[in-house]
Structure 1
Amino acid sequence: MVSFPEDFEAREAAARRLLEELRAETAELALRLQAAQEDLSRWEISRETVTKVLAELSAAEPATEVDVPVMPEQKPSPTAAGKGRRPCGRSRALRASSGSCCAFRTGSAP
């Protein structure tokens, strides 16, 4: 049987070990907290800087409308029109299966 003083010393040693473990965890958390605070500060400064630059740019430039060119609709050639083909030579069924037409340079080539 363990004597009372030995049991007392064992419990005290366990409490000391726990305390040291918690201090180590606290030190690690303090470092992580500091890094997170620095990261947040950089993001806040970046946001403020971008907001300021954008405000300065919008104030310096007069509002202008941008003309977006509209491409005219391409008409099928007279020789291909009767055959159900586009100027590129692809049939409507083939276009429907691939979802694209080379005349418009979208999707896969013929």
Structure 2
Amino acid sequence: MAEGIVVATTGDVPDGEGIAVAADVLGTVDDVAVFNDGGEFYALDDTCSHEKASLAEGWVEDGAVECPLHSARFCLADGSVLSMPATRAVACHRVVVDGDDIRVIPDPGRLRE
């Protein structure tokens, strides 16, 4: 069996978009957003570090997601801040594509105790 928890299939996440996965599914402290950027899949904590907005509802382009509320941008590969008003990174989770299944391996530091 492959690592991680199956959260979607590749067909569930259109190119340039994201979906939110409930924290209960992964056992994480925040919902997790899974993104498709040109066929590459990424996972970040879903809540923008600047305000309480869902990054899964943001715009995905060129390896970044832009928050739909105030346009802060985050790197899909590591969650780092690419533009203000955000000043804190969001957590990044490992993604494994297994056939058509998208598996997320949560960051151990972001698991509920």
What is the TM-score with the length of structure 2 in the denominator?
0.20
Q: Which has the higher contact order (CA 8 A, sep 6+)?
A: 2
Q: Which has the higher strand share?
A: 2
Please say which structure displays the higher CA radius of gyration.
1
